[in-house]
């Protein structure tokens, strides 16, 4: 199947009892057994649920994986990856990460004995030079949140595996989605998504996902999920599966609108800098063009007037761009990383990489782009 077909049919089959085209929402905690240990593939809903199974089969198909796991949130999915490690193990991560990921790394798992080093993954050598005998995981986010940095997944994976083939490579593919890039095909071991965002696509659920190809790794993750219990519920699984069916058509519009918004901002007299991998001015444009099929709907920028007053004036003046947390829904959102998505990162660490008070992040939705540009124009001149 090609990708557009996979979003609708990947891993799916009609429900056997009635022929229902969509899988039913199985709102049950347990399943009848004909004899102790004898059941129809389902025993207790923390382990498996038919609605979640249907979603996970679809998730696996989208990333060209063999197994997928739907979690209660994106953070629960990341938590499961880190539980593959043990005290004393080291993780190499990018220096520009979603704030919740950084918080989990530094404020939670560091207390449990994991070690973390943060490097600029724009250069592959920065990653390989950081490898030590304790390195067990490389955590890649690309494009990054919120500075839209691009990491070369294939080169990083190849070079790291040459150093030590046992090191796991995990990629947060939330911003790109499998519509734009497939990290498993580029050599990664694990793909993570906040399915709250583009996979769900309608700002009506919270969910995380992991996709893998290797059987032993899949068994380890399944055990962690079953033992820890951070599973996606059946209703959210149904909503996510429904959302995925339009992923391809939504992403087409997100990408078209995102590029037009980025070009508009880049030439605007009141905008100082735009972060978008689809602009030729982006330092990793050539890598993004090779690695991704298009450039997505996430755009960050700074005003020329970097004062708090000017930034807040813009944030308070948009009408179609809703000031809110999250991203990836059909509606356009505007986010202030310092006070919202990245507020948990210490100021000194934010400033090192350029996440300043004046940074603004847009999640460009699928509305008519002329209306979105008009909204940005009036907010810039408010």
Q: Is 98 among the residues known to form the active site?
A: yes
**Residue of 52, 79, 95, 98 marked active site:** 98
Cβ atoms of 311 and 303 within 8 Å: the answer is: yes
Tokens of 350: 């934010």
Q: Name residue 140's beta-bridge partners.
A: 171
* Residues 102, 268: Cα–Cα separation, whole Å: 33
Cα 201 to Cα 232: distance, rounded to the nearest angstrom: 16
Active-site pick, 172, 189, 236, 375? 172
Phi-psi region of 362 (alpha: psi -120 to 50; beta: other; left: phi over 0): beta
Query: What does the angle CA 362 – CA 363 – CA 365 come to, to the nearest 5 degrees?
Result: 125
Contact status, residue 27 vs residue 234, Cβ threshold 8 Å: yes
Greatest C-alpha distance within the chain:
73
Q: Which tokens belong to 152?
A: 């070369």
Identify the active-site residue in 136, 149, 182, 197. Answer: 197
Reading the block at residue 216, the tokens are: 């032993």
Per annotation, catalytic residue among 46, 161, 253, 273:
46
Burial 170-209 (b: 16+ CB within 10 A, else e): bbbbbbbbbbbbbbbebbbbbbbbbbbbbbbbebebbbbb
Is there a catalytic annotation at residue 172? yes
Give 107's DSSP letter.
I
Structure tokens at 215: 């059987």
Percent helix, strand, coil in the chain, to 5, is 35, 15, 45
197 catalytic, yes or no? yes
The closest of 136, 125, 53 to 87, measured between CA atoms, is 136
Which region, left, alpha or beta, applies to residue 64 given φ > 0 means left and ψ of -120 to 50 means alpha?
Answer: left
CA angle 337–177–350, rounded 5-degree value: 20
**At which residue do the structure tokens 């429904």 appear?**
242
Q: Which residue has the tokens 């020329």?
A: 304
Q: Please name the residue ranges forming H helices in 267-346.
A: 285-291, 308-315
Mind telling me the catalytic residues?
A: 46, 98, 172, 197
């Amino acid at each position: 199947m090609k990708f557009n077909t996979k979003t609708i049919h990947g891993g799916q089959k009609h429900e056997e009892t009635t022929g229902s085209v969509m899988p039913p929402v199985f709102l049950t905690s347990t399943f009848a057994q004909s004899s102790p240990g004898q059941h129809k593939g389902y025993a207790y809903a923390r382990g498996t649920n038919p609605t979640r199974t249907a979603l996970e089969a679809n998730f696996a198909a989208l990333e060209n994986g063999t197994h997928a796991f739907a979690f209660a949130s994106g953070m629960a999915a990341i938590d499961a990856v880190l539980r593959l490690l043990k005290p004393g193990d080291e993780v190499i991560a990018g220096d520009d990460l979603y704030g919740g990921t950084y918080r989990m790394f530094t404020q939670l798992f560091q207390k449990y004995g994991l070690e973390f080093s943060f490097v600029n993954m724009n250069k592959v050598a920065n990653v390989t030079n950081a490898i030590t005998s304790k390195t067990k995981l490389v955590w890649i986010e690309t494009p990054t949140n919120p500075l839209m940095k691009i990491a070369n997944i294939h080169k990083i994976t190849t070079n790291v595996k040459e150093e030590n083939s046992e090191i796991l490579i995990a990629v947060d593919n939330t911003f790109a989605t499998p519509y734009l890039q497939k990290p498993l095909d580029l050599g990664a071991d694990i793909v993570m998504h906040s399915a709250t965002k583009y996979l769900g696509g309608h700002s009506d659920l919270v969910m995380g996902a992991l996709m893998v190809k290797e059987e032993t790794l899949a068994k380890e993750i399944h055990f962690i999920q079953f033992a820890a219990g951070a599973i996606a519920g059946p209703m959210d699984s149904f909503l996510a599966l429904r959302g995925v069916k339009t992923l391809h058509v939504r992403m087409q519009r997100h990408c078209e609108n995102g590029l037009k918004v980025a070009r508009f901002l880049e030439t605007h007299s009141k905008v100082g800098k735009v972060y978008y991998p689809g602009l030729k001015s982006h330092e990793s444009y050539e890598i993004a063009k090779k690695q991704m099929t298009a450039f997505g709907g996430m755009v960050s920028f700074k005003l020329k007037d970097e004062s708090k007053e000017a930034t807040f004036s813009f944030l308070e003046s948009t009408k179609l761009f809703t000031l809110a947390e999250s991203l990836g829904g059909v509606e356009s959102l505007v986010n202030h990383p310092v006070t919202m998505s990245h507020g948990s990162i210490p100021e000194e660490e934010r400033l090192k990489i350029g996440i300043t008070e004046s940074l603004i992040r847009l999640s460009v939705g699928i509305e008519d782009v002329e209306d979105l540009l008009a909204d940005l124009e009036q907010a810039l001149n408010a």
